[in-house]
Amino acid sequence: MDRPLRLGISACLLGQEVRYDGGHKRDDFLMGTVAPFVEWVSVCPEAESGMGVPRPPVRLERAAAGAGAGAGAELRLIDPKSGADHGPSLRKFSARRVAALAQEDLDGYVLKKDSPSCGLERVRVYNASGMPERKGVGLYAAALLERLPLLPVEDEGRLNDPGIRENFFERVFAYRRLKAALHPRWTVGGLVRFHTAEKSLLMAHDPQAYRELGRLVAGAKALPRAELAERYPAAFMRALQKMATPRKHQNVLQHMQGYFSEQLTAGERAELTGLIEDYGNRLVPLIAPVTLIRHFVRRFDVQYLAGQSYLEPSPKELMLRNHA
């Protein structure tokens, strides 16, 4: 890594005492394992928009029919005790803050789950009868997703799932590589080199998108530069949002094995084949066959595979592929 990742984060997850009750929700994984690789850009929408600390707790409420114009005005951010609606002020703050973040070169963002401002999904929304439904998105989170649609975003609760955690950080590092490839003076040749290095990773996430992006890159010279710069990143990041499965990983690993299989001894070939099968049966973590393949790639100097981001998409210290 030539520089730390730049990740946006809900300030309470850093341990900042900005919650409604003056407390925090410090996340040990983010502040421990992840922190050495990251420069955090913290935001607390409620505190920074003027609601103060401490402050009365607020919740999302669905406006009655005819109470607001359009979907953006449908949800209100209500203090149940006073009835005050903080939605307009939080929306104005969110628009300004997210516009500023768009200039911060962020690589990803971690939000506080269940928050009426920062919640990414399944946030409680109270209907006219006072009954909650888990169908909402926090007001600040919604502004972030709309303004920065390619940015990898997750909430800290979902990151407790090893598969989702691996997927998120794969997207974060891939997004960083993508931005570097599409720098202001990018060329079609540079995009081809980037795509070539990402082929195995794409195949593990979305084989159909792998084929479609291949066709897009093959015809790149015939497309307007602006169109290519819009279509490729959107399709690339959308593909990586799909979870890589053991079956798709197996396919990639077997494909890689084919590049040097004839150079292996019978015993080495049986060992690697068995290790790939063991991974598919959830007996060993993904890092096991990947480590052995990396060994053979170095030993036989397989340049194409040596350039594949799939073999080391993130720092080993994050241990993202160590779960079975």
What rounded mean pLDDT belongs to the chain?
95
The pLDDT of residue 73 is 45
Query: Hey, what are 112's tokens?
Result: 């506080």
pLDDT digit string, tens, across residues 247-274: 999 999 999 999 999 999 999 999 999 9
The pLDDT of residue 66 is 53
pLDDT over 60 at 239, yes or no: yes
Residue 112 CB: number of other CB atoms within 10 A?
A: 25
pLDDT digit string, tens, across residues 308-320: 999 999 999 999 9
- DSSP β-bridge partners for residue 24: none
Do residues 104 and 81 make contact, with C-beta atoms less than 8 angstroms apart? no
pLDDT digit string, tens, across residues 194-210: 999 999 999 999 999 99
Supply the Cα-derived Rg of the chain in whole angstroms.
23
